[in-house]
């Protein structure tokens, strides 16, 4: 696993931040024009690609040189993906492996990751179109991520980009799982791209009524409140996160460390082009993931909710969870990672899968700092402090605009 | 603008596009490929050089260029045809 986020620039610091319940949500440092009314976000402030690259130890020098070459002048979204993928690749001990490159797949979970990059170029382009960098033709394509990462790691199996709005990360995990499970790859790298939103994208989310940050405009750390009565919309977050999926046979053969097992993952559509959530679709996603895993709802110890801090979204998910877990809700523990990281959009599913695996392995639940008045008293959310909790089976939900419902089930190894 | 000045501009652009290159490796008779520039790096050197010099030429104008000297020559011939920035 690898991550670069507002609350941690690697897995170890991300883990510490989860334990302490640190929030990355603060006033935005963006100086862009025009100014947008919501100025709160969990950004990667002071991100320095070269500095983060230089912190890597025990990565072959040649790989670091290539990473520098590929990333130094690349868009922010590419730089962040290189950092998270390098950490994941290193953790999985793939620098030392002799795997066949054709048996390694690559899934980039991301869409529209160059929006802000393009926004910044528009003014200059309008004045002098001739001076547009020839590199732009590569860089505005989402598949540039596939090209850069496959060149860096020498990946020659299947490679593609997947999108699913706010569920993009889970869609990537599920497609990667299917690739490995069906035998088309031994290893699959799944990278969630950072959402580098332009001011226009942020205004769009405000105008559609999805974004919060108004009531707590002077208290940014209180603005993201999943499942709290004062929730009023999502708070934008930035992160790139990467996991490596590998078949049991391949990992056992090379004696690679196993963190957790994906037991099932489900995607379904509401058949709805709008932004509104649908309880039935969410219930179906959770039940289908459990069914694939061969588990009953009562065997789940922990649920990492989609919990975006949206009033209708939180209510719909809480109702769906009550439907699925019924009498088991008294034993099921829940939290919402977006309360700390903001909503990382395309990478959210990966950020939350990583948060889930960390909590499973360390035996704790991260706090929900702003959950002061829960909208639903039947669900057992972690409170303002982290608690110890043994997790053997976990579920993680992600739901996206366009009626995209996803759920994955994980088992501690 | 003197050819030497255009060459200086081009050298700086090459260093911007290929930051790991030792500046002493650059000499006017060399071509960009042997300095480690791939096809996109080479097009970028041309585009940024034109921007620095305030020149707008179709990329076809550089089709016959085979080394840095040729590039500097085409650029020098066209500098000043439009006002410098």
Alpha carbon distance A364, A387 (integer Å)? 6
The DSSP-derived string for B30-71 is S-TGGGT--HHHHHHHHHHHHHHHT----GGGGTT--SHHHH
> Would the pLDDT of A329 be above 60?
yes
For residues A280 and A174, state if they share a domain: no
User: What's the pLDDT score for residue B82?
Assistant: 55
Integer Cα distance of A269 and A261 in angstroms: 25
The C-alpha atoms of residue B45 and residue B7 are separated, in whole angstroms, by 12
Q: What's the total number of domains in chain A?
A: 2
- Residue A32's domain is classified under what CATH number? 3.40.47.10
Residue where a domain terminates, one of A205, A229, A253:
A253
Asked if residue B19 has pLDDT above 70, the reply is: yes
Domain shared by A68 and A204, yes or no: yes
Query: Does residue B83 surpass a pLDDT of 70?
Result: no
Task: Tell me the pLDDT tens digit for each residue of A13-41.
Answer: 999 999 999 999 999 988 899 999 999 99
Inter-chain CB proximity A69 and B20 less than 8 Å: yes
Q: Quick one: closest CA in B to A65, which residue?
A: B20
Whether residues A97 and A149 share a domain: the answer is: yes
Choosing from A202, A224, A253, the residue where a domain stops is A253
Q: Within 10 Å of residue B19's Cβ, how many Cβ atoms?
A: 11
What is the percentage of chain B residues whose pLDDT exceeds 70? 95
Is residue B84 scored above 50 in pLDDT?
Answer: no
Cβ within 8 Å, pair B44-A135: yes
**A208, A276: one domain:** no
pLDDT per residue as tens digits for the range A46-55: 999 999 999 9
Give mean pLDDT, residues B46-58.
Answer: 96
- For the segment A231-290, what is each residue's pLDDT rounded down to a tens digit? 999 999 999 999 999 999 999 999 998 999 999 999 999 999 999 999 999 999 999 999
Measured CB to CB, residues of chain A less than 8 Å from chain B are: 65, 68-69, 72-73, 128, 130-135, 138
Please give the residue range of the domain that contains residue A393.
260-412
> Cβ distance A113 to A142 under 8 Å?
yes
Question: ipTM value of the model?
Answer: 0.91
Mutate to test the interface with B, among A68, A134, A135 (most CBs of B within 10 A): A134
Same domain, A154 and A14: yes
* Contact status of B36 with chain A (Cβ, < 8 Å): no
**Hey, are the CB atoms on A134 and B20 less than 8 Å from each other?**
no
**Into how many domains does chain B fold?**
1
**Residue A369 contacts residue A21 (beta carbons within 8 Å):** yes
Place of tokens 């599920």: A174
Q: How confident is the model at residue A387 (pLDDT cuts 50, 70, 90)?
A: very high
Tell me whether residues B50 and A68 touch, CB distance under 8 A.
Answer: no
Separation between Cα atoms, residue A240 and residue A75, nearest integer Å:
13
If asked whether residues A246 and A105 sit together in one domain, one would say yes
At which residue do the structure tokens 């439907």 appear?
A323
Contact in structure between A318 and A381 (CB atoms under 8 Å): no
Interface mutation vs chain B, best among A133, A137, A139, A141, most B CBs within 10 Å: A133
Put the strands of the sheet holding A404-412 in their side by side order.
Answer: A260-269, A404-412, A393-400, A302-304, A333-335, A380-381
Q: Provide the pLDDT confidence category of residue A79 given band limits of 50, 70 and 90.
A: very high
The alpha carbon of residue B85 is apart from the nearest alpha carbon of chain A, in Å, by 12
Contact residues on chain A for B17, CB-CB shorter than 8 A: 73
Same domain, A226 and A308: no
Mean pLDDT of A352-359: 98
Let me know if residue B85 belongs to a domain: no
Mean pLDDT estimate for chain A: 97
Contact at CB, A128 and B56, closer than 8 angstroms: yes
What CATH number is attached to the domain comprising B46?
1.10.1200.10
Task: Give the C-alpha separation, B53 to B76, whole Å.
Answer: 9
Tell whether A209 and A303 lie within a shared domain: no
Considering only CB atoms, B47 lies closest to which of A72, A134, A138, namely A134
Residue B84 lies in a domain: no
Its domain, for residue B14, covers 3-78
Q: Does B23 fall in a domain?
A: yes
Is A39 in the same domain as A176?
yes
The two tokens of residue A364 are 């704790």
């Amino acid at each position: 696993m690898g991550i670069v986020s507002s609350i941690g620039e690697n897995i170890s610091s991300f883990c510490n931040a989860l334990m302490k319940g640190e929030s990355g949500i603060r006033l935005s440092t963006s100086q862009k024009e025009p100014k947008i009314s919501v100025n709160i976000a969990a950004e990667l402030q002071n991100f320095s690609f070269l500095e983060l690259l230089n912190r890597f130890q025990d990565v072959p020098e040649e790989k670091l040189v290539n990473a520098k070459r590929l990333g130094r002048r690349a868009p922010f979204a590419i730089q962040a993906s290189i950092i998270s993928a390098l950490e994941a690749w290193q953790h999985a001990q793939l620098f030392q492996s002799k795997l066949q490159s054709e048996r390694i797949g690559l899934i980039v979970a991301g869409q529209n990751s160059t929006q802000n990059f393009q926004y910044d170029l528009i003014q200059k382009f309008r004045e002098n179109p001739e001076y547009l960098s020839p590199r732009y033709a590569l860089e505005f394509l989402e598949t540039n991520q596939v090209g850069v990462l496959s060149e860096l790691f020498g990946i020659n199996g299947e490679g593609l980009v997947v999108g699913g709005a706010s569920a993009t990360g889970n869609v990537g995990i599920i497609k990667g799982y299917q690739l490995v499970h069906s035998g088309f790859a031994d290893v699959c790298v799944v990278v969630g791209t950072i959402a580098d939103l332009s001011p226009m994208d942020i205004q769009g989310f405000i105008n559609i009524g999805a974004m919060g940050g108004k009531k707590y405009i002077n208290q940014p750390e209180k603005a993201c409140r999943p499942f709290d009565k004062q929730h009023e919309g999502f708070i934008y977050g930035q992160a790139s996160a990467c996991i490596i999926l590998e078949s049991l046979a391949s990992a056992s053969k090379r004696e690679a460390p196993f963190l957790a097992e994906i037991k099932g993952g489900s995607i379904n559509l509401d058949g709805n082009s709008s932004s509104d959530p649908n309880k039935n679709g969410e219930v179906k996603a959770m039940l289908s993931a459990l069914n694939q895993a061969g588990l009953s709802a009562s065997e789940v110890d922990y649920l990492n909710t989609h919990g975006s801090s949206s009033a209708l979204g939180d209510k719909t998910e809480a109702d769906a969870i009550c439907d699925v877990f019924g009498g088991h809700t008294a034993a099921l523990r829940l939290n919402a990672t977006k309360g700390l990281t903001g909503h990382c959009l395309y990478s959210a599913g990966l950020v939350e899968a990583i948060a889930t695996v960390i909590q499973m392995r360390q035996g704790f639940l991260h706090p929900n700092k702003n959950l002061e008045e829960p909208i639903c008293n039947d669900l057992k959310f972690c409170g303002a402090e982290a608690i110890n909790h043994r997790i053997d089976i976990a579920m993680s939900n992600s739901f996206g605009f366009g009626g995209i419902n996803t759920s994955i089930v994980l088992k501690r190894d | 603008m003197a050819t030497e000045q255009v060459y200086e501009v081009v050298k700086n652009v090459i260093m911007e596009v290929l930051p790991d290159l030792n500046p002493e490796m650059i000499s006017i008779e060399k071509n960009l490929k042997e300095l480690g520039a791939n096809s996109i790096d080479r097009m970028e050197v041309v585009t940024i050089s034109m921007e620095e010099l305030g020149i707008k030429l179709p990329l076809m104008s550089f089709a016959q260029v085979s080394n840095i000297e040729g590039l500097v020559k085409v650029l020098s011939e066209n500098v000043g045809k439009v006002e410098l920035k």
